[in-house]
Amino acid sequence: MKKLVSLLLVGIMVLAFAACTKKPPEVNKPDWLAEVPTVTDADKIANYKDAYKGDKENGPVWYYLCDDGTGIRELHYTEEWGDNWQYSENPTVDQVYYSLMDWEGLKVNAGMWGDVNVKIIIGWRAYKDGTAKIGEWDYTAYDGSNNLEGFVAGSKVTILHNDTEIWTGTSTAEGGDVYEGTEVEVKEGDFIYFVFDSKDASTAHHALDTLSVTLE
């Protein structure tokens, strides 16, 4: 009898261990989170401006993304408006125009759509292990409601290494907002995200012309 009880206890312990070590179900990830894609020398562009101009596809190094509270996803390339990536697939129908754009230099505009906070995100993906050098960047927020005349205070910019915050700053009414840059050790496939949260400043159009990441 004791032997039978011992065997039952062993069986219960084995089942409990198996339950604890069971892998979680697979989650279907967006394309930009799939395996690290092949990166050619032509793709290894440090300056965002040079990568963005004429780019009609996300990746494999620079990515055009957003998050409206449902998780990060890709923006929609809107060819009829030139170099433009929109939050909405049908912006004129939805009457929401938060996007990445070329308007007197590259800009980004995020903000509220009803009660939805639409964050626009630029992603940079490491194509090898190394040191990512985020360069000095003028992230001044210009007033899009006044044809970019004047500046907008209160728009938040955050830089993440995967899900770890590196830096956060807020635009000022005086303009001339500059991030001094830093270095981050990265592994192949790591992301650096530049997150624009303008829920309190929806007319803010941040400058992007000097944004850069060099991988060494």
| Structural domain for 126, as ranges | 2-215
State pLDDT tens for residues 27-53: 345 666 767 788 999 999 999 999 999
Instruction: Of 156, 174, 49, 171, give the one whose Cα is nearest residue 105.
Output: 49
CATH value at residue 118: 2.60.120
Question: Any idea which of 28-37, 88-97, 142-151 has the lowest mean pLDDT?
Answer: 28-37
Per-residue model confidence as pLDDT tens digits over 198-210:
999 999 999 999 9
Domains in the chain, number: 1
**Cα dihedral sign, 87-89-94-95:** positive
| Per-residue pLDDT, 70 | 92
Least confident piece of the model among 18-32, 103-117, 140-154: 18-32
CA-CA distance, 52 to 85, in Å (whole number)? 10
Tens digit of pLDDT for each residue in 120-135? 999 999 999 999 999 9
What's the rounded mean pLDDT across residues 96-120? 96
β partners of residue 178: 138
Confidence at residue 33, expressed as pLDDT on a 0 to 100 scale: 74
Task: Give the Cα separation of 85 and 59 in Å (integer).
Answer: 13
| Closest residue by Cα to residue 106 from 214, 28, 212 | 212
